[in-house]
Structure 1
Amino acid sequence: MSNYVRGRLEALGDAFWLRPALLVLLGVLAGEGAVSLEIAGWPDAVLSAGWLYAGGESGARALLSAIASSTIGVAGTTFSITVAALSLASGQMGPRLLRNFIRDAGNQIALGIFLGTFAYALIVLRTVRSTDEGAFVPHLAVTGALVLALLSVATLVWFVHHVASGINVETVIDLVHRDLQEAVGRLTLDCPDAQFPAAAPSGSPVRLETSGYLRALDEDALADWAANAGRTLILRVRPGDYVFPGVPIAEVTPGELVEAEEQLRNAMVLGPRQAAAQDLEFAVRQLAEVAVRALSPGINDPFTAVAVLDRFGDVLCWMTRRHLPGPVVLRDGQAVLFRRAIDYDGLLDAMFHMIRQAGASSAAVIVRLVEVLGIALEAETNPVRRTALRRHADLALAAGQRELHEPASVEDLRVRHTRCYETGLSQDQDEIAQ
């Protein structure tokens, strides 16, 4: 699946109503289907087995009414619990993490099961007729309502557990960490990208009168168009950037602005929020926000920040086997698309800058930051990346020396920093010897 298609699907996932609406529709169709099977005489062969509802019209109406009224009440309670969980998560972990709760399939399906059961019971209830109306009791459909009621009870128990565990900060960190790992695996390469030494040319600016966050961009389609049309396209924006109306977002040479504008418009997915489909820094920023909020004076939770740093260290060690995409897209050996690709320095800046600035006065956080950088240095073999890791270790040491007031903490930080440098230098010497 291409990243562009993934971005389109991700936009659908932001719609909290989609899965519940589909389950309500399924409940309506299931109710109509069960009644139709009853009319067709299908359940007659199994009624004697005692598995189907065998009561009369008044009992069926009372049962269906009870199921309908109770499930719609539980649905309202479920919605209230979800809103309370969202409010708590917004205050403690940041409003941008609400996206993860809204997109949670479990919450959506639980609400959909309650509403679908309600819709099913109503559809079946309207078909029950007394003797005066021409007696008809859909035994199969009433039995289906009982099964759905039991399913709703089980779903309610599971939902309470799911919400209680879902708002736990460790659970949230782990979920975002998995999102980041998945994004790294999807947006990085097994082998180094093709290198093209030529600098990006200058061309005619391309402007669009639209605005919003660039959620996805079909770079392959743009590169194919540029190759077929004999053009070179230079992108000024990348997924995650905000597109401003009337501001150049690309350059094309030779200039064919009308066609280039149409191609860019078709290749871009804009929205009011950022998305993770093609933005590697998105999950990084989410994790960093959890750490920064935990270090705020109102919360003062360094343990959460340390947990975030551990996840960043895990990702950096895993990235030693991965390669970031290059800034040039080639077609038949020719550079047809120049893009703003994320580099390793930028990724480290997104991970550590804000945490270092917010946690410089916390010995536990700043020392763990240097330790994590040292672990990443031990795993990394690329000299350019090791230089970037050392730069952040130096920044952490300077921040700690400036903000920490306890001499023992400063000395501990210096020891960790020295070990970090010794690890990096030994790696450099091993590479030179090879």
Structure 2
Amino acid sequence: MKARLGAWLERLGDQFWLRPAFIVAACMAAAEGGIWMEHARSFMDGDDAANPWGYGGGAEGARALLSAVASSSIGVAGTVFSITVAALSLASGQMGPRLLRNFVRDGRNQLALGIFVGTFAYAILVLRTVRTEQEGAFVPHAAVTGAIVLAVACVATLVWFVHHVAMSINVEKVVEAVHRDLVEAVERATLDAPDLMRVEFEQAATVTVSGSEYLQAVDPTSLADWAASKGCRVRLRVRPGDYVPRGLPIAEIHPSQDGARSVLERALTFGSQPTALQALEYTVRQLSEVAVRALSPGINDPSTAGSVLERFGDALCRLAPRFLPTGVAERDGRIVLLYPVTDYEGLTDAMFHAIRQNGSGSAFVLIRMLDVLAKVAQVERATDRLWEIRRSVRRGWIATAILAVTILLVALSVVPVAFGFFGAALLLVLFRAVPTREAYDAIDWPILVMLAALIPYQETHHQHEDEDGKKLWGAHRAR
């Protein structure tokens, strides 16, 4: 239940309209409150208009003032929305579409839009009650004064919002914001003491659920309680952040139990996109995508990739005194539930693999990665984690050495450029500096097929050239 509630609150945070709607409702309530206060004052003081509360003008002035506030606030709201869309487009192009969620969830953007739209709603509600002498004079002075206060607040909000947007699209600010999310995720997903030793269950009957899309949250407590009450053992096959197609077996239960499917559907929460609620690697992938985008030929900003690597190093240093869960739940001394979790190897691979692959041609990035890993090794004390760090360091040194030797051989014209870098790519795969799967995924197969298809054309073209040359030579000899 707690996991499902957390996922529901996470989805609420993605709703851009939610905070502005609350602000508009508050402004409308304030408008009605100001109008009620004026009615109450008129009832108590009769028709005596002396000493009004705040605004002291007449009905015509109040109408003009409220009309100006309403028209200007809704115009500025459109400007704020346009600025927000432009910032989102820029962030999506330079730092990756996954970061759009961070901008949409930014409460300050929602606050600014809510203030302007709320001021418009406030002014319209107050304007409808203003009456001249011919209509039975009524001017809600306190409510008109509130419109003046909101107008001043809109001016201040506009200046602050422009500054905020200018700062929010700064890549260093974006990296720092995602790094804070990563630090919170590390604190939330790790333990103060070692978890239970993981064991493996034998193969058992599989269970599917009707839900699909991304698995956002798992409630291991309810699953473990149910397994203990039924005297069975459950092993989940998926973890938060995985995409689950409909019909995929997601759990094994031994012995099989009636009603297992309904229990799993209550314990698992699916959504249209992954979240950082229980998926530690989700925030890691966000930061990694910023670095990969920065290393693309269109941007070519290795300094940003270096900044991301420094944040990854800080996260690993914060992780050093803590423990990762093993995905084991027990009841009454008996292990009843196993579920997949992120281990240290998977975490370091998610942090460095994509950057190492895309930055293999940049000595700056590889050297910075080695420096970050060396700092982490000085903080970390766990033997198994140090082995993983050494593995990453070894891959970094191998990639750096292969790159340096290849550049030297090409510069000295010892080998052609194409053969040199093709051989370097093969060596990176052979020495496991780049995983085989990543190398396979990096191959642009359509281009490769197109080049292969051009080989027969090239041979035919050379044959025709030879035949034409022979004919020309024969004609020349004949003359």
TM-score normalised by length of structure 2: 0.82
Which of 106, 109, 114 does residue 112 from structure 1 map onto? 114
The aligned residue for residue 390 of structure 1 is: 390
The aligned residue for residue 5 of structure 2 is: 5
Q: Please give the alpha-carbon distance, in whole angstroms, between the structure 2 residues aligned to 1:75 and 1:272.
A: 30
- Residue correspondence of structure 1 range 394-409 to structure 2 within 5 A: 394-404=394-404, 405=406
Q: Please give the alpha-carbon distance, in whole angstroms, between the structure 1 residues aligned to 2:396 and 2:99.
A: 27
The aligned residue for residue 256 of structure 2 is: 255
The aligned residue for residue 237 of structure 1 is: 238
The aligned residue for residue 294 of structure 1 is: 294
Deviation digits for residues 61-92 of structure 1 (CA, Å, limit 9, x no counterpart): 11111101000000000000000000000000
Deviation, 1:396, is 1.1
Indicate whether 1:91 and 2:75 are aligned. no
Indicate whether 1:41 and 2:41 are aligned. yes
Which of 48, 55, 58 does residue 57 from structure 2 map onto? 55
Deviation, 1:50, is 7.1
Indicate whether 1:131 and 2:123 are aligned. no
The aligned residue for residue 157 of structure 2 is: 155
> Letter of the aligned partner of 2:107 in structure 1?
A
Deviation, 1:268, is 2.0
Deviation, 1:3, is 4.8
Structure 2 residue runs of 5 or longer lacking an equivalent are: 409-479
The aligned residue for residue 77 of structure 1 is: 79
Which of 169, 173, 181 does residue 171 from structure 2 map onto? 169
The aligned residue for residue 413 of structure 1 is: none
Q: Please give the alpha-carbon distance, in whole angstroms, between the structure 2 residues aligned to 1:270 and 1:71.
A: 40
Question: Match of 1:202, SS?
Answer: coil
Q: Please give the alpha-carbon distance, in whole angstroms, between the structure 2 residues aligned to 1:134 and 1:400.
A: 85
Q: Which moved more, 1:32-41 or 1:138-147?
A: 32-41
Counterpart contact for 1:327–1:340, Cα < 8 Å: yes
Deviation, 1:42, is 8.1
Cα 1:331–1:42 change in 2 (3 A) is: farther
Deviation, 1:34, is 1.3
Cα 1:73–1:256 change in 2 (3 A) is: same
Deviation digits for residues 370-406 of structure 1 (CA, Å, limit 9, x no counterpart): 1111111111110100000011111111222223355
Deviation, 1:23, is 1.1
Q: Please give the alpha-carbon distance, in whole angstroms, between the structure 2 residues aligned to 1:60 and 1:125.
A: 8
Indicate whether 1:280 and 2:280 are aligned. yes
The aligned residue for residue 20 of structure 1 is: 20
Q: Please give the alpha-carbon distance, in whole angstroms, between the structure 1 residues aligned to 2:42 and 2:146.
A: 14
Aligned residue-pair number = 405
- Residue correspondence of structure 1 range 326-341 to structure 2 within 5 A: 326-341=326-341
> Letter of the aligned partner of 1:175 in structure 2?
A
The aligned residue for residue 201 of structure 1 is: 202
Deviation digits for residues 395-429 of structure 1 (CA, Å, limit 9, x no counterpart): 1112222233556xxxxxxxxxxxxxxxxxxxxxx
Structure 1 residue runs of 5 or longer lacking an equivalent are: 408-434
Cα 1:328–1:42 change in 2 (3 A) is: farther
Which of 126, 131, 141 does residue 143 from structure 2 map onto? 141
Cα 1:49–1:351 change in 2 (3 A) is: farther
Counterpart contact for 1:357–1:399, Cα < 8 Å: no
The aligned residue for residue 422 of structure 1 is: none
- Residue correspondence of structure 1 range 307-346 to structure 2 within 5 A: 307-346=307-346
Cα 1:30–1:401 change in 2 (3 A) is: same
The aligned residue for residue 424 of structure 1 is: none
Cα 1:251–1:155 change in 2 (3 A) is: same
Deviation, 1:350, is 0.1
Counterpart contact for 1:19–1:108, Cα < 8 Å: yes
Question: Match of 1:55, SS?
Answer: coil
Question: Match of 2:336, SS?
Answer: strand
Deviation, 1:36, is 1.0
Deviation, 1:315, is 0.8
Counterpart contact for 2:52–2:141, Cα < 8 Å: no
Q: Please give the alpha-carbon distance, in whole angstroms, between the structure 1 residues aligned to 2:373 and 2:71.
A: 57
Deviation digits for residues 274-317 of structure 1 (CA, Å, limit 9, x no counterpart): 10010100111011000000000111100000000000111111
Larger radius of gyration: 2
Q: Please give the alpha-carbon distance, in whole angstroms, between the structure 2 residues aligned to 1:39 and 1:292.
A: 63
The aligned residue for residue 418 of structure 1 is: none
Deviation, 1:229, is 2.5
> Letter of the aligned partner of 2:176 in structure 1?
D
Q: Please give the alpha-carbon distance, in whole angstroms, between the structure 2 residues aligned to 1:165 and 1:43.
A: 51
Q: Please give the alpha-carbon distance, in whole angstroms, between the structure 1 residues aligned to 2:43 and 2:55.
A: 11
> Letter of the aligned partner of 1:152 in structure 2?
C
Deviation, 1:228, is 2.1
Cα 1:372–1:117 change in 2 (3 A) is: same
Q: Please give the alpha-carbon distance, in whole angstroms, between the structure 2 residues aligned to 1:394 and 1:349.
A: 13
Deviation, 1:222, is 1.4
The aligned residue for residue 68 of structure 2 is: 66
RMSD of aligned residue pairs (Cα, Å): 1.9
> Letter of the aligned partner of 2:272 in structure 1?
P
Q: Please give the alpha-carbon distance, in whole angstroms, between the structure 2 residues aligned to 1:152 and 1:43.
A: 33
Deviation digits for residues 175-208 of structure 1 (CA, Å, limit 9, x no counterpart): 0000000000011001101225x42232221112
Q: Please give the alpha-carbon distance, in whole angstroms, between the structure 2 residues aligned to 1:239 and 1:354.
A: 21
> Letter of the aligned partner of 1:143 in structure 2?
T
Deviation, 1:209, is 2.7
> Letter of the aligned partner of 2:82 in structure 1?
S
Question: Match of 2:234, SS?
Answer: strand
Counterpart contact for 1:124–1:142, Cα < 8 Å: yes
Deviation digits for residues 242-281 of structure 1 (CA, Å, limit 9, x no counterpart): 0110110111122125x22111212222111110010100
Counterpart contact for 2:96–2:293, Cα < 8 Å: yes
Q: Please give the alpha-carbon distance, in whole angstroms, between the structure 1 residues aligned to 2:331 and 2:5.
A: 22
> Letter of the aligned partner of 2:8 in structure 1?
R
> Letter of the aligned partner of 1:189 in structure 2?
L
Counterpart contact for 2:53–2:141, Cα < 8 Å: no
Cα 1:145–1:114 change in 2 (3 A) is: same
Deviation, 1:51, is 5.9
Q: Please give the alpha-carbon distance, in whole angstroms, between the structure 1 residues aligned to 2:84 and 2:59.
A: 37
Q: Please give the alpha-carbon distance, in whole angstroms, between the structure 2 residues aligned to 1:14 and 1:364.
A: 37
Counterpart contact for 2:227–2:337, Cα < 8 Å: yes
